[in-house]
Amino acid sequence: MASNPVVKHRTRAAARQNGRCHYCSCPMWDAMREPVKSFALRHGISRRLARLLQLTAEHLRARQDGGKDRAGNIVAACRVCNLRRHQGTRQPPEPDAYAALIQRRVAAGRWHYPPLHRLIAAP
């Protein structure tokens, strides 16, 4: 097990979430455990698209707002969901509001590139 607490919590969160993103439910790959090439092959997508689904540690309360590197504050999210939450605005949306927004976008087919849509629904 890695000694970095963020990595440890990220790995545990990913296991709890069955390897799927907290926000969009896409499967993710852990760069410490699997090369992007094998994830891409397994899901029949390009490496470029697969990189978007890299496992990241998402701080529900952002570190810049005093969020800690603790299990209760870290979920596993894909790179896209993580980056976009913290992009563009000074204050990231609250996790529940952001989750609801992404679920609406997913339902409308407006989250992730189209080749990734089938991964969201796949068991």
Radius of gyration over every alpha carbon of the chain, rounded to an integer in angstroms: 14
Name which of 13 and 81 has its Cβ closer to Zn ion.
Answer: 81
Among 81, 99, 116, 119, binds Zn ion (CB under 5 A): 81
Question: Does 23 interact with Zn ion (rule: CB under 5 A)?
Answer: yes
Please choose, from the candidates 13, 31, 18, 12, the residue with its C-alpha nearest in 3D space to the C-alpha of residue 79: 31
Q: Which residues contact 49 (CB under 8 A, 6 or more apart)?
A: 40, 113, 115, 116
Work out whether 111 is an interface residue with Zn ion (CB under 5 A): no
Kindly indicate which of the ranges 9-17, 21-29, 57-65, 83-91 contains the residues binding Zn ion, using the contact rule CB under 5 A.
Answer: 21-29
Q: Is 55 in the site for Zn ion (CB under 5 A)?
A: no
Q: Is 41 helix (H, G, I), strand (E, B) or coil?
A: helix
Binding site for Zn ion (CB under 5 A): 21, 23-24, 78, 81
